[in-house]
Amino acid sequence: MSDAQATDRGKELQLEAVAVDVARLAAGHVRSRLGTARAADTKSSPTDIVTDTDLETERLIRHELKARSPGSSIVGEELDDQHGDGNVGWIVDPLDGTINFLYNLPVVSVSVAATVHGTVVAGAVTDVLLGETFSAARGRGARRDDVRIAVSGEHDLANSLIGTGFSYDAQRRAHEATVVSRILPAARDIRCFGSAALQLCWVACGRLDACYQQGLKVYDFAAGALIAIEAGAEVEQPSDNGHDLLLATTPRLLPTIRDIVAPSPVR
């Protein structure tokens, strides 16, 4: 390894550490607001809501990232993009699982990903209720609370537990229902947890064998996708296919699941 490569690897590990610290701090803030959620506004549809805690948490994350990584750019779910003068960027989802949070359901996460020259190189996802933090740095594997994790290795769809999620758009939901009707008979079972970031991490640690979802934004999956890849998953991001589809599976399952869930996407 050259000196430059060693420097890059060291920087990526430092960015992972920052992502972990900030995700844990933000998750603590969300945890302190459990049971107090109320809808502050709506976005793409009446069912796509934002709470005061979403906004508070993103402001907290941005404050911490600016202090720890001066000059960085920041892309987040709730607030305007911030453009820095350096080559480091951050992609953040302050509260992934807002509907769960509103209903006091226990699947909520915070996601923080780091980029260098636009490429995701590190990330962390913290489960607000369980307190687990999943993280990764490019080429260095994935971890749950600093312990290495790996995908399940399941290669038979009939024995696979699949995670998915649904759009806020009614037309897309109708299409998603037909997709579920195709894959449910072929799989062990399907789960919909309401947090794409956590579902990717659960593929990474073997709690799920695969997950798929259309219509996600980059802040939904930037950290989780890297964590899944580093744990050995095969991952297709929406930019990799013509279906606006995120797909993460154990090795050898991806073509089989893609053939079932990808045809005739809604535009």
Tokens of 213: 């979802």
Domain with 230, as residue range(s), is 157-261
Q: Is residue 74 part of a domain?
A: yes
Domain boundary among 148, 180, 213: 148
Same structural domain, 130 and 12:
yes
Q: Is residue 45 part of a domain?
A: yes
Buried b (16+ CB within 10 A) or exposed e, 119-148: ebbbbbbbbbbeebbbbbbbebebbbeeee
The 10s digit of each residue's pLDDT in 157-175 is 999 999 999 988 888 888 8
Q: Is residue 28 part of a domain?
A: yes
Q: Is residue 267 part of a domain?
A: no
At 48 the pLDDT is 60
Same structural domain, 8 and 127:
yes
pTM, full prediction = 0.92
Domain boundary among 122, 148, 174: 148
Going by pLDDT thresholds of 50, 70 and 90, the confidence category of residue 6 is very low
Length of the chain, in residues:
267
Task: Look up the CATH number of the domain holding residue 66.
Answer: 3.30.540.10
